[in-house]
């Protein structure tokens, strides 16, 4: 039996997941949610702040992936 890494536990996001995470976090920030990182001076756009949080690894949004067998 060959060892296959569990794709569902790897923390690499698709471009669609990344866009959804950053967009949802930017909406939260624009509605007054606390920012979880020290924001560089001059950065005021919620999308830029959400992207900065994502790059720092502190974005509080996760993605749950389901295996094909679990969807049925």
60/26 Cα distance (integer angstroms): 12
CA distance 35 to 13: 22
Domains (range + CATH), the chain: 14-71 (3.90.940.10)
Q: Is the pTM of this model over 0.75?
A: yes
CA distance 46 to 50: 6
Predicted confidence (pLDDT) per residue in 3-53, tens digit: 445 554 556 899 999 999 999 999 999 999 999 999 999 999 999 999 999
Within 10 angstroms of residue 13's Cβ, the number of other Cβ atoms is: 15
| Whether the Cβ atoms of residue 31 and residue 52 lie closer than 8 Å to each other | no
């Amino acid at each position: 039996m060959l060892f296959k890494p569990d794709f569902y536990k790897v923390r690499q996001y698709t471009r669609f997941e990344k866009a959804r995470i950053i967009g949802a976090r930017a909406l939260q920030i624009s509605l007054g949610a606390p920012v979880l990182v020290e924001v560089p001076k001059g950065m005021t756009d919620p999308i830029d702040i959400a992207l900065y949080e994502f790059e720092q690894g502190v974005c509080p949004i996760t993605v749950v992936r389901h295996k094909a067998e679990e969807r049925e």
